[in-house]
């Protein structure tokens, strides 16, 4: 009886922190959306893109923040992890603001809706299915390198149907990563659930991973479905 009660308490605690990870992911998406809106509404987007080097600097900063958070998550303070995540979300909002000028706004919102539906479905599968998805994760990580290679080729060669090809492949890769990351999150919380401070930081870490999965699904859907202005 005591073991069952203890197991129930542990499971409840784990679910609470999983909910926090999704909550922080939502906060990150909200920060990104609000930042993009402010950039467009105030014409700050033209200030940023008037400096040709600034967008590249922000991309480098985003990569640095992801590496910093991923490598230091167990050593940094929880408040620091949150600030890094929010900072990354804001930078993404700045770089994303150009999407609303490049593509028809209706097609962007349709892509966002599809991304939300696909992400939710695959995340539920990753959370509820007992099957080990480690092999899918490995395949998707290989897929990331293939995406990079396709991107480099497409930069130099104008390929027919390039956006559709890379968009479809990118969506498949990040849908797979959504399943993998969701299951990894569930398993990880089971290993550290007796350490509340650690779980708070792990929630931020997985919020970033899930945020990246969703954002990339959205980006590749825009490439497939978006109507250019």
Number of domains in the chain: 1
Contact 189, 202 (CB under 8 A): yes
pLDDT computed for residue 20 by the predictor: 93
pLDDT, tens digit, for every residue of 80-131?
999 999 999 999 999 888 887 788 888 889 999 999 999 999 999 999 888 8
Share of the chain above pLDDT 90, in %: 45
Which residue range forms the structural domain that includes residue 74?
A: 2-225
Cα distances from 118 to residues 1, 75, 96, 112, 205, in angstroms, run 40, 34, 20, 10, 21
């Amino acid at each position: 009886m005591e073991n069952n009660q203890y197991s129930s308490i542990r499971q409840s605690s784990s679910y609470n922190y999983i909910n926090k990870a999704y909550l922080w992911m939502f906060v990150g998406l909200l920060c990104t959306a609000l930042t993009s809106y402010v950039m467009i509404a105030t014409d700050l987007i033209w200030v940023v893109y008037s400096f040709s080097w600034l967008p590249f600097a922000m991309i480098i900063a985003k990569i640095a923040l992801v590496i910093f958070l991923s490598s230091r998550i167990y050593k940094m303070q929880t408040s620091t992890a949150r600030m890094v995540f929010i900072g990354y979300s804001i930078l993404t909002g700045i770089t994303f603001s150009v999407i609303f000028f490049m593509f028809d706004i209706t097609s962007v919102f349709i892509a966002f809706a599809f991304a939300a539906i696909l992400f939710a479905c695959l995340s539920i599968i990753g959370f509820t299915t007992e099957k080990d998805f480690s092999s899918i994760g490995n395949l998707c990580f290989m897929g990331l390198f293939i995406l990079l290679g396709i991107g480099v080729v497409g930069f130099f060669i104008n390929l027919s149907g390039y956006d559709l090809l890379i968009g479809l492949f990118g969506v498949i890769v990040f849908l797979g990563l959504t399943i993998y990351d969701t299951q990894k999150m569930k398993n990880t919380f089971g290993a550290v659930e007796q350490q509340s401070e650690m779980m708070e930081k792990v929630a931020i870490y997985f919020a970033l991973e899930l945020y990246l999965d969703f954002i990339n699904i959205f980006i590749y859907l825009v490439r497939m479905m978006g109507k250019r202005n």
